[in-house]
A = this chain, B = another copy of it.
Amino acid sequence: MKRYLSVISLEEALDLIERSFSFVPGTETVPIDAAAGRITASPIIGRFSVPEIHLSAMDGIAVRSADTVGASEQRPVRITDAVRVNTGNVIPPGYDAVVMIEDVWEEEGGYTIRRSVSPWQHVRPVGEDIGESEMVVPSLHRIRPPDIGALAAYGIAEVEVLSVRVGLIPTGSELVPVGTRPPPGKVVESNTLAAAAWLGQLGARCRRYGIVPDEYDRIREAVLQGAAENDLLLVSAGSSAGTRDYTADVIRELGEVLAHGVGIRPGKPVIIGRIDGKPVIGLPGYPLAALTILREIVVPLLGRFGLPQPPKERVSARLTTSLYSDIGTDEFVLLSVGRIGGRWVAVPQSRGAGVQMSAVRSNAYMRIGADSEGTAAGEEISAVLGVPLSAAEEALLITGSHDPALDYLADLARKTGIDLHSTHVGSMGGLLALKKRECHAAPMHLLAPDGSYNTHYLRRYLPDADLVLLCIADRQQGVVSRDGITFREIPDHRFVNRQKGSGTRMLLDHLLQREGISPSSIPGYEREMTTHLAVALAVKTGEADAGLCVYSAAHALGLAFVPVGTERYELAMHRESLDDPRIASLVETVASDAFRQALLDLGGYEVAETGVLRGLQE
């Protein structure tokens, strides 16, 4: 089996890149109206003065200032030699000032003015804005919209800008192009799409080549072409040590492999190569590994070509979950950060490199340095924002039990400018997050022995907290199956369970006890899923025959559903958080007709109590 011969550190990789290439960007000429965000390749010099001739700065009359001496409200002065001018009109030769129209009475054969003017008053002199031959902007200036207006005004119709040509070659026999439904075991080629969108935003000129199957000669041909036609070539995947990973061998044949394997996670299998003096990067195939390599290696590489680096805005945040990491590896973890009270809190996303939803859901990331074994829950970490700070301020962290209704709540909440970040850790997990004040609200459905919901456990675990509960809905739970299995029939079928601490698991155990069914009699009782939809999916794919979930999950996948009862699904919050305008807005959204309608459309929810807010002591 092939192995990585040597793994270098991220820092060494960046040093290696800096040493190994000359980074001479190309340039291209673009029309001025397409230049926003581009980087000037050379200084831009004004073609003519603006204004080129003295202009009136006001509506009024052009005069000789000497003629106006002494004019005032009390002693108006009559002027016979003057010319009516509007703002922007040329001052005719011989005149050296303008009296504003407000201070002028027009009369037969002349004007009377009630204010004197000094020489050149209300005149825009030649070159006031810019003089002929003056430099408007230097090289390596990022062109902003106001620059475009100025440059156009100074006679610049097109500008020479940096142009880094980036080629992207997707390789892999498992890939189908976007817009094609992938058959089982195939996937949509999406990594070069995301990369092109990203690098394009930074000013690179990206070209995506067609998908190349895992055949050495075809990859070789594509890389040869891509290296010839671009300043930087990215080869997507084929960089691991699998039996059909040819990228490194191809780069070695056409040039040289400078490094294969970097101590970075996700993204370790990255290749840094050189063909004809140009950088060729082999990206790992897992989407989040590819994104990490883009951000940590490719974007800085483009910076060496002169493209500006995106700003890294940071907040100091308290980490909610311990993260372990290997010494010698720089690890990057996606986060959902939100401000709770005066403090930022960071919830790590799934670290699976194939889970693209982690990137969609996250609004920040953190780095665990190569010299660290990890970061403990409760420590302050430095989170780099992936959105503007103002957008991060809109984030509400919703941690607890999962329900599809939360996504529809998030959709409606966006319209009020807030951004729900849901983390699915089960009802008990939410309760503990609320106790540690690591979430804004905890969705839960915890059945107590007395048949009540939520209040029992909250009183027990947060005895001193002043809490409120906001009802999302009374929702149906039931047995999901392909063919209508009832609760009592569960022991005869392959089951798929929910994780310990989830309300659904607690409901199951409660029902099993009531019905006198032993967990050990249920095949699959130990197979745990973390969401309703995962349970329904396991049933749909035939991996299991039955599970317990909400109606909407069963309905979405077209499966049979036999109700076992309704339960009160509520958002628990600290009462003081109702003072937070974002929470107040969320409460309003839950109580809205639009949300009630969304629940009815999903199905399986009773909405009579939706939006009801109760205190814990009531």
A interface residue numbers (CB < 8 A to B): 1, 32-33, 35-37, 43, 47-55, 57, 59, 84, 86-90, 101-102, 119-120, 124-142, 144-155, 157, 174, 178-179, 181-182, 184-185, 187-191, 193-198, 200-201, 240-244, 285, 287, 291, 308-313, 352, 354-357, 359-360, 386-391, 404, 407-408, 410-411, 413-415, 527, 531, 533-534, 536-538, 541, 543, 556-557
Contact = CB atoms under 8 A, between A and B. Distances in A.
Nearest to A37: B201
A414 B140 contact: yes
Nearest to A388: B311
A414 B240 contact: no
10 contacts: A43-B411, A87-B285, A128-B354, A129-B352, A132-B537, A138-B407, A147-B360, A148-B194, A153-B190, A310-B388
Given A138-B410, A359-B146, A410-B138, A557 B132 contact: yes
A187 B354 contact: no
Contacts of A147: 359-360
B356 A149 contact: yes
Contacts of A138: 407, 410-411, 413-414
A327 B537 CA distance: 66
Contact of A130 (B124, B357, B414): B357
A390 B132 contact: no
Contact of A59 (B57, B240, B308): B240
Nearest to A245: B86
A360 B527 CA distance: 63
A148 B194 CA distance: 5
A413 B137 CA distance: 12
Contacts of A196: 33
Nearest to A140: B414
A551 to B, nearest CB: 13
Contact of A360 (B54, B124, B136, B240): B136
A355 B50 CA distance: 9
A53 B187 contact: no
A150 B537 contact: no
